Chain A
């Protein structure tokens, strides 16, 4: 089976595992103006929330900064003057600020999360929408696992950018501005003495920021290596075991593990040093306050209350600066994620509806389907079809046969424009498929796949293909009846309402095929492509499927892609694909009599059945 599959013409997909992609490890700058501008764009639909949040910042800062002021008043005007009643009033005010802050902070925090989550929701939808529009070649190149990371994880990092980064920084800036203003207003000399340590603070922050960024990059690099090694070990573990290399590989792993640990410690050291320095500078500021403020009190230029308030303001001044490092890391990760998200959003689908689609107006002689000198390769010059030409008349039943890997399924993929031809033309009703409206084309040409993939949801949802109301209940009934699926669906406990598990795992293979056939029929397509299932199904379903097939074919243009030649002898015409073009054509009987390739394929098919 495995060998068989590797020979079909499908570009190999990389395995879906949580691999650490190289491009997932690139770290951007923490504040990339272009990216921040794009992120800001994403908040546009929620501008009112953002504005409301932003308006709250100064209010919150004002109330917060009122508290030390109240303490000052309490000390200077009431406690030191033994004014018991006045103190009670101040305490009342203080309680009011506490209650207000509780409410304000809660609302503020919720607004931030609400914005972040809504933006995230929008981004997820935009990414999914883009993925829906992208063509098959894109999916051949990008493993599902990586795309899932974009839609789920990277989006999460962007949410962090809003809640833990951007908004928090703006709030901090507003608070800092408030603290500076109030300190200058209360006593500008004392304020300036306190601020004299700001240059030292800036130097320390700049130094550690650069160092910790480098250290952080090193950590990411080492981690990527460590995880890469681990992932590879897991995939190649049997090789390691077979050649008894466990100890050697373990030693290599230990070395990488140690490298990572050391890098991590290096980065921890810078973070901890920054934290400690900022804290120490905070104490220096306090010492300056005691020294200058104390002498001012001695000379009567300052009150006790003002000194205490100043101490509290200084504390609030240092808090946001101390936590800057953490915000920096959040922003850095978020920038890298947004870069990847916006990168994916910018990918343009290669296969889209033309701006002004042609409407097919076939005359009696126009073939329903036509391949005209088609050349196609999944990759480079690896031609699967080379100058392939054939026609299928209206109402005709044609079977495409050929050895594995001769491009039979590829023909179906070109007919519904999953891929575009490299050279030549594919025409449906005399119009090049590239000139058809994409949705119209895909409803005109129905395909039943080898792989009967169903989706989580009810049987009905799987058959209706969308709730846009274009499929009536009558359409549904007709499709179910035609596909011979009615008895089976009625036997389900909830009938059409039965929930199918992920990928339809709770119904049998044969039943899934019946559903897949019904699904292809709901739009009553003028052309039906049956990519015959290679996997076997139970005899009961097999009989139902064969019966259904006979019904379907009647009066409809049908192309059967045949893997087992026994079932298609009734076709009007056989097309034998060989070396990328039609090698023989004719009815089963004539081809068999001619004793060419078809005869051999037929014998092979019969032989394989008994082997």
Chain B
């Protein structure tokens, strides 16, 4: 509000300057020799100082407020993104969300900031200048204002034309960017068939079409400002003519005419800005809609929200057992991932789930920690339906390590602790040793403080997986779900780590999915999945004996090993 007040003061002060000039000219006109020029000069300087200070204040206040709004919007957006389940991340890819959080947020800011300031400024300028002009001479004001309605109409017409052609241009930009993407991604094909000529041609066509659209827009835009100036100039001309006549007839003073010219010049900029502001508002509204869409997408997981509200420290799991009962699950409209899965993992038991690629192994873990929501009454932790559990409690009890390990661009230490209050450095270190990656980390230049990830050192896939494992181990969760976490670690290392874990994990319940049957062999029990169904269950020896899918998979892996180890 302070900003608006400042703007009002600034407007008054800046309108006062032409007024002072008018009085100075009048004084010079009547008695040039005795005109108190010092007073006028002083007033102009004083008004200029007030105007500068007030205008600065208003700009800072209003743009500052707009920047605050921008920060708040971004903050809200982040808050809702932290509640996004994986299902929504598949609908909105990272690039799309980034675009919304950057260009759309700044689009909204531009409207609130620049748009807001220029709206208020324009209003004040018009009201102030017209009032001042009416005081000088109502008739002349009427003459001077004659072109403005035409100007506003034209501005609106132009704005919609500009909008239309901008849309067309953006559409063609999409086509062009599709062509570029396609050829860059398919460069191996372009190269192999010496298709450079064709690539050049299709690209050239899309680029030329874009050029045409851009120029169509330019033609409109090139006319816009000059046309507005033309109409405003006609106002000046009318004032010069009608006002000059009035001066000649002695109805107004020369000073008034000068002041009038000053006010008209004063209005030129806000009028021009009007058109831009209108199109900016339109763009800003689209951006706001795109942000809102993301923020409102979260109610999709209302159920998650409802259960989240269950107070922490509600009924604790009675045991650390896991159970899947008649679980069927489908991702969106794809083929079913799990058809009918029933098995239990007893407290302190180690169960391995194996099966061919695409058999649904990974889905089990995702549903257990509710990264995807299972149907009600199918997945149980400690005898409780996970869909009815408080998310924080569930995830505190079940440490889940996904197949794709993600490390933040932070130190390894921070990646393991994740700033959890209940994980100290000692624990982190123990977890790292247990995960079998301690030696390699010691070999890094800065040890545990080495920054990894996008802006740091690139660890190998196997190292990343083990750091992610350490992260899960550090929390001392009673239940551990490991989803093929050794996929990028060699078989010997995997067995070594599992051996270490077996000693350290006694009492913890472990559900382990793996590609490598050798690693599964040590489990208390093995569950074999095929096409979303449990087809066999038992110990390694029993399953080999049975001669079913497990036995076949075992033979395949033996062959693979033999081939890999052939001299």
Q: Complex Cα distance A241/B20, Å?
A: 66
Q: Are B56 and A244 in contact (CB under 8 A)?
A: no
B84 at the interface (CB under 8 A from A): yes
Rounded to whole angstroms, the CA-CA distance of A124 and B200 in the bound complex is: 11
Output the least CB separation between B115 and chain A (Å). Answer: 15
A136-B188 contact given A233-B81, A238-B402, CB 8 Å threshold: yes
A278 to B356, CA, bound (A): 73
State the main secondary structure of chain A at its contact with B.
Answer: helix
Stretch at the interface among A177-185, A254-262, A481-489: A254-262
- A107, A118, A227, A443: the one contacting B98 at CB < 8 Å is A227
Query: B89 and A234: CB pair below 8 A?
Result: yes
B409 touches A283 (CB 8 A): no
Contact between chains at A265 and B28 (CB < 8 Å) = no
Query: Does A230 touch B at the CB level, under 8 Å?
Result: yes
Given contacts A17-B95, A298-B28, A461-B198, 20 further A-B contacts (CB under 8 A): A3-B487, A6-B488, A18-B95, A87-B244, A91-B241, A98-B230, A105-B222, A106-B223, A121-B211, A128-B207, A227-B98, A230-B98, A242-B395, A243-B475, A257-B74, A261-B70, A290-B20, A294-B37, A297-B28, A403-B560
A22-B455, A91-B241, A298-B35 known; A290-B200 Cβ under 8 A: no
Given contacts A148-B177, A418-B188, A418-B191, contact A611 B553 (CB under 8 A): yes
Residue of A nearest to B393 (CB): A244
Question: Are A520 and B193 CB-contacts (below 8 A) given A295-B37, A297-B28?
Answer: yes
A132 to B468, CA, bound (A): 40
Cα–Cα, bound, A253→B73 (Å): 13
Please judge, given known A-B contacts A245-B419, A291-B37, whether A250 and B52 are in contact too, CB under 8 Å: no
> CA separation between A407 and B275, bound complex, in Å?
62
Selected from B86, B101, B184, the residue in CB contact (under 8 A) with A131 is B184
Does B48 lie within 8 Å of A71, measured CB to CB?
no
- Write the B83-107 contact mask toward A (1 if CB under 8 angstroms, else 0): 1101001000111011101100000
Q: How far is the CB of B190 from chain A (nearest CB, A)?
A: 7
B244-285: which residues lie under 8 A (CB-CB) from chain A? 244-245, 247-248, 254, 257-258, 261-262, 265
| Chain B 437-464 interface mask (CB, 8 Å, partner A; 1/0) | 0000000000000000111000001000
Report if A601 contacts B (CB, 8 A).
Answer: yes
Residues of chain B within 8 A of A279, CB atoms compared: 48, 51-52, 55
Q: Does residue B183 face the partner (Cβ distance < 8 Å to A)?
A: yes
Which of B505-523 touch A at CB < 8 Å? 515
Chain A hits for B563, CB < 8 A = 403, 578, 597, 600-601, 604
Q: How far is the CA of A253 from the CA of B188 in the complex (A)?
A: 40
Number of A-B contacts (CB under 8 A): 410
Q: How far is the CB of A237 from chain B (nearest CB, A)?
A: 6
Are B208 and A467 interface neighbours, CB within 8 A?
no
A453 within 8 A of B: yes
Q: Is the CB of B261 within 8 A of A71?
A: yes
Instruction: Give the chain A neighbours of B487 by CB distance below 8 A.
Output: 3, 6
Top 8 A-B pairs, shortest CB-CB distance: A283-B48, A105-B226, A113-B218, A466-B198, A109-B222, A466-B197, A280-B52, A110-B222
Interface residues of B in 343-360 (CB under 8 A from A): 356-358
Q: Provided the pairs A258-B71, A280-B52 are in contact, do residues A132 and B45 lie with their beta carbons within 8 angstroms?
A: no
Docked Cα-Cα span, A105 to B230, in Å, equals 10
Q: Is B466 an interface residue when CB atoms closer than 8 A count as contact?
A: no
Within 8 Å of chain B (Cβ to Cβ): is A75? yes
Q: Can you identify 30 A-B contacts, CB atoms within 8 angstroms?
A: A3-B484, A3-B487, A3-B515, A16-B185, A18-B94, A74-B244, A79-B254, A109-B222, A110-B218, A125-B203, A128-B183, A128-B207, A147-B184, A151-B180, A235-B94, A236-B407, A243-B475, A269-B60, A275-B59, A276-B55, A280-B49, A282-B48, A287-B48, A291-B37, A297-B28, A453-B188, A503-B182, A604-B559, A607-B552, A611-B356
Per-residue contact bits, chain A 1-38, to B (CB 8 Å; 1 contact, 0 not): 11110100000000111110010000000000000000
Q: Say if the beta carbon of A88 comes within 8 Å of chain B.
A: yes
Known A22-B455, A230-B78; judge A286-B71 contact (CB<8 A): no
| Interface 9-residue window, one of B61-69, B320-328, B539-547 | B61-69
Asked if B71 and A244 sit within 8 Å, CB to CB, the answer is no
Q: Is the CB of B41 within 8 A of A455?
A: no
Interface of chain A residues 460 through 480 with chain B (CB within 8 A): 461, 464-468
Q: Which residue of B is nearest A143, CB measured?
A: B184
Q: Is the C-beta of B116 less than 8 angstroms from some C-beta in chain A?
A: no
What's the minimum C-beta distance from A196 to chain B, rounded to whole angstroms?
A: 14
The answer to whether A244 touches B49 (Cβ under 8 A) is no
- A211 at interface (Cβ–Cβ under 8 A)? no
Residues of B close to A257: CB separation below 8 A: 71, 74-75, 78
User: Does B298 count as interface, using CB distance less than 8 angstroms?
Assistant: no
Q: What residues on A are CB-neighbors of B201 within 8 Å?
A: 466-467
A519 to B186: give the CA distance in the assembly, Å: 14
A136: which B residues are within 8 A, CB to CB? 187-188, 191
Chain A residues with Cβ below 8 Å from B75 are 250, 253-254, 257
Instruction: Find chain B residues with CB under 8 A from A132 CB.
Output: 183, 187, 190, 196, 199-200
Which B residues are CB-close (under 8 A) to A241?
Answer: 82, 371, 391, 395
Contact A105 B225 (CB under 8 A): yes
* Residues in A whose Cβ lies below 8 Å from that of B33: 298
Cross-chain contact A87 with B245 (CB below 8 angstroms): yes
A120, A311, A608: the one within 8 Å of B21 (CB): A311
